[in-house]
Amino acid sequence: MPESTSSDSFQPKPLIVSGAATYPGLDDWRSLPIAQQPSWAATDEYHAATAELSSLPPLVFAGEVDVLRERLAAAARGEAFLLQGGDCAETFDGATADKISARVRTILQMAVVLTYGASLPVIKMGRMAGQFAKPRSSNDETRDGVTLPAYRGDMVNGYDFSPESRRHDPSRLVRAYHTSASTLNLIRAFTQGGFADLRLVHHWNQGFMANPAHSRYESTAREIDRAVKFMEACGADFEALKRVEFFASHEALLLDYERALTRIDSRTGLPYDTSGHFLWIGERTRDLDSAHVDFLSRVRNPIGVKLGPTSTADDALALIDKLDPQREPGRLTFITRMGAGNIREKLPSLVEKVTDSGAQVLWVTDPMHGNTVTSPNGYKTRNFDDVIDEVRGFFEVHNSLGTFPGGLHVEMTGDDVAECLGGADPIDQDAFLEGYESVCDPRLNHMQSLEMAFLVAGALSKS
Q: Which does 337 bind (CB under 5 to 8 A by kind): ligand PEP, Mn ion, none?
A: ligand PEP
The beta-strand segments (E) located in 317-406 are: 332-336, 362-365, 373-374, 380-381
C-alpha radius of gyration, the chain, whole number:
21
Sequence-distant (≥ 6) Cβ neighbours of residue 441 within 8 angstroms: 88, 89, 368, 369, 372, 380, 382, 411
CA dist., res. 90 & res. 384, Å (int): 22
Nearest to 92 by CA among 36, 192, 169, 38: 169
Considering only residues 375 through 394, tell me which ones interact with ligand PEP, judged by CB under 6 A.
none
The residue from 124, 337, 382, 398 that contacts ligand PEP (CB under 6 A) is 337
Which three-class secondary structure state does DSSP give residue 305? strand
Give whichever of 220 and 311 is closer to ligand PEP, judged by the CB atom: 311
- Tell me the site size for Mn ion, rule CB under 5 A: 2
154: contact with Mn ion by CB under 5 A: no
Give whichever of 88 and 253 is closer to Mn ion, judged by the CB atom: 88
- In whole angstroms, the minimum distance from the beta carbon of 442 to Mn ion comes to 9
Considering only residues 70 through 109, tell me which ones interact with ligand PEP, judged by CB under 6 A.
88
The residue from 126, 130, 282, 422 that contacts ligand PEP (CB under 6 A) is 282
87: contact with Mn ion by CB under 5 A: no
Provide the sign of the torsion angle of the four alpha carbons 49, 266, 249, 183, taken in this order.
Answer: negative
CA dist., res. 106 & res. 83, Å (int): 11
Q: Which does 175 bind (CB under 5 to 8 A by kind): ligand PEP, Mn ion, none?
A: none
Strand-strand pairing, 81-86 and 407-411: parallel
CA dist., res. 347 & res. 398, Å (int): 9
243: contact with ligand PEP by CB under 6 A: no
306: contact with ligand PEP by CB under 6 A: yes
CA dist., res. 86 & res. 197, Å (int): 21
Q: Which does 443 bind (CB under 5 to 8 A by kind): Mn ion, ligand PEP, none?
A: none
The residue from 21, 80, 88, 362 that contacts Mn ion (CB under 5 A) is 88
Considering only residues 137 through 166, tell me which ones interact with ligand PEP, judged by CB under 6 A.
none
242: contact with ligand PEP by CB under 6 A: no
CA dist., res. 251 & res. 197, Å (int): 30
- In whole angstroms, the minimum distance from the beta carbon of 135 to Mn ion comes to 9
- Tell me the site size for ligand PEP, rule CB under 6 A: 10
Sequence-distant (≥ 6) Cβ neighbours of residue 132 within 8 angstroms: 89, 90, 91, 92, 153, 154, 155, 176, 179, 180, 250
Per the CB < 8 A criterion, the answer to whether 458 and 398 are in contact is no
The residue from 135, 341, 348, 435 that contacts ligand PEP (CB under 6 A) is 135
- In whole angstroms, the minimum distance from the beta carbon of 331 to ligand PEP comes to 20
Give whichever of 92 and 238 is closer to Mn ion, judged by the CB atom: 92
Could you tell me which stretch among 192-200, 352-360, 441-449, 454-462 binds Mn ion (CB under 5 A)? Answer: 441-449
441: contact with Mn ion by CB under 5 A: yes
DSSP 114-178: HHHHHTS-EEEEEE-SS------S-SEEEETTEEEEPP--TTT--SSSSHHHHS--THHHHHHHH
CA dist., res. 88 & res. 131, Å (int): 7
- In whole angstroms, the minimum distance from the beta carbon of 120 to ligand PEP comes to 25
Could you tell me which stretch among 260-268, 279-287, 290-298, 444-452 binds ligand PEP (CB under 6 A)? Answer: 279-287
- In whole angstroms, the minimum distance from the beta carbon of 116 to ligand PEP comes to 27
Q: Applying CB under 6 A, which residues contact ligand PEP?
A: 88, 135, 251, 282-284, 306, 337, 369, 441
Note the residues at the interface with Mn ion (CB under 5 A): 88, 441
